[in-house]
Amino acid sequence: MLFPGTFLGVWNLLQISGRESVASISPAWLQAHGHAQVFGWVGSFILGIGFYSIPKLRGGEKVSFVQAWACWAMWTMGAAMRWAANVYRWEWRIFLPLSATLELAAFLIFFRAMSQHRPSDKEEKQIEPWIWVIISASTGLLLLLIVNLIGCFYVAFREARPAFPHLFDQRYLALLAWGFLVPFVWGFSAKWMAVFLGLKPLRAKVLIAAVIANLAGLALMVAGKIAVGVWFSLAATLLSIAAIRLFEPSINEPKTRGVHKSFPFFVRLAYAWLIVAASLAIVAVMWDHSGGIWGASRHALTVGFVSVMILCVGQRVLPAFAGMRILWSTRLMFLALFLLTLGCGARVFCEVLAYQGYAAWAWLALPWSAILELTALTTFAVNMMGTFLLQPAHSVREPMVTRIAGAEL
């Protein structure tokens, strides 16, 4: 699911750089890329991790395989259909709303499966703070899917091309970023990072304050009060970092067995990217006249924060989830994270310079940033394939998540 969106992103950026204008590219293609990355790749990753880990972490029974496969099939079909409708325009007036319906239905299967799982032990009945954050993110995703469905019906009946109108798309992207992606990462960070990085215990009240500030910022942005909303997003980001205590000295050794030693550094770097993303949004409100500062802020968030985090956490937990395997190559893990950081840095910096017309040479650097990011994501995919196909599985009796949270690995 990583490749269709990534290839289209690279293709779009090559076209934009060649023509030195983002306006010359079809909005349907830009949106096809964004949708494929966020729903196809990140969404599948979150649904998979959720199906595997949430019931176990809450002490419930196993999720039914039928539900999980039905969810996967509908989600994947929906994402693929959207890509085809946006890119090839084939029967798009039918496939656009159909894809959105399939994605919403898939999520409802996931939501039902997750909400059926109650903690078995009485002591566990009190909901932990990280679960509240995941509930906020899941509600954000549900809202996003409903807005996507409404948007797709509107476009199918009213528009001449398969793309959301610009203003609608901008608000939809705010919901996607701050309503769905960011709180999901916060939730899983709140659960796992204290153990993985040996951090001091979570400040639960500060985390809830971060969620509330984030929701306030999002509401303001969606209501069109973007100049105020972006400050709330920055405040929420800083609160989340204070809550998880990411930049405070660790009290225990980080658990880096089985992954590259740089793992704690890149997790912290991902949060630094989130600060960059939120700060660039404030700058964009003041100075953007080309879409470049907004684009840079969006990619600091989607590539710098979300993708770096997926490369860190994915390579940390997926080998164990898939049959207690060991990661194929820790060097490839480092290479992927290094190249992604380099590519994202070049992209964010040069996008502002090029799109805003501050430096013409930056247009020449942008395609290289895309190549670096593509190579990084391919390296990650190769490492995961190597892990699943070449590394032996080991059976376990105890739930693997418990072992992972207890950092046996």
Q: 116 to 175, contacts with ligand HEM by CB under 6 A?
A: 169, 173
For position 99 contacting ligand HEM by CB under 6 A, the verdict is: no
3-state secondary structure of 216: helix
- Residue burial 121-131, b: 16+ Cβ < 10 Å; e: rest: eeeeeeebbbb
Please give the full DSSP string across 275-343, using - where no structure is assigned.
HHHHHHHHHHHHH-SSSHHHHHHHHIIIIIIIIHHHHHHHHHHHHHHTTS---S-HHHHHHHHHHHHHH
Give the residue at shortest CB distance from ligand HEM.
295
For position 9 contacting ligand HEM by CB under 6 A, the verdict is: yes
Count of residues engaged in binding ligand HEM, rule: CB under 6 A? 26
Give me the residue label for tokens 């993110």: 137
Contact 87, 28 (CB under 8 A): yes
Largest CA distance in the chain: 64
| Contact window for ligand HEM (CB under 6 A) among 5-13, 196-204, 246-254, 393-401 | 5-13
For position 96 contacting ligand HEM by CB under 6 A, the verdict is: no
**Interface map 249-288 toward ligand HEM (x if CB under 6 A):** ----------------------------------------
Closest contact distance (angstroms) between CB of 58 and ligand HEM is 27
Question: Among 48, 97, 295, 319, which residue sits at the site for ligand HEM (rule: CB under 6 A)?
Answer: 295
- Residue burial 205-231, b: 16+ Cβ < 10 Å; e: rest: ebbbbbbebbbbbbebbbeeebeebbb
For position 6 contacting ligand HEM by CB under 6 A, the verdict is: yes
Question: Among 1, 10, 259, 313, which residue sits at the site for ligand HEM (rule: CB under 6 A)?
Answer: 10
Q: What are the residue ranges of helices labelled H in 159-262?
A: 166-174, 182-197, 204-222, 226-244
**Interface map 297-316 toward ligand HEM (x if CB under 6 A):** -xx--xx--xx---------
Tell which residue, 349, 205, 341, has the closest CA to residue 266: 341
Nearer to ligand HEM, 30 or 312 (CB): 30
Q: 345 to 404, contacts with ligand HEM by CB under 6 A?
A: 370, 373-374
For position 12 contacting ligand HEM by CB under 6 A, the verdict is: yes
Q: How far is CA 375 from CA 103, 265, 310, 378, in A?
A: 29, 21, 16, 5
Interface residues toward ligand HEM, by CB under 6 A: 6, 9-10, 12-13, 16, 22, 30-31, 33-34, 37-38, 42, 169, 173, 295, 298-299, 302-303, 306-307, 370, 373-374
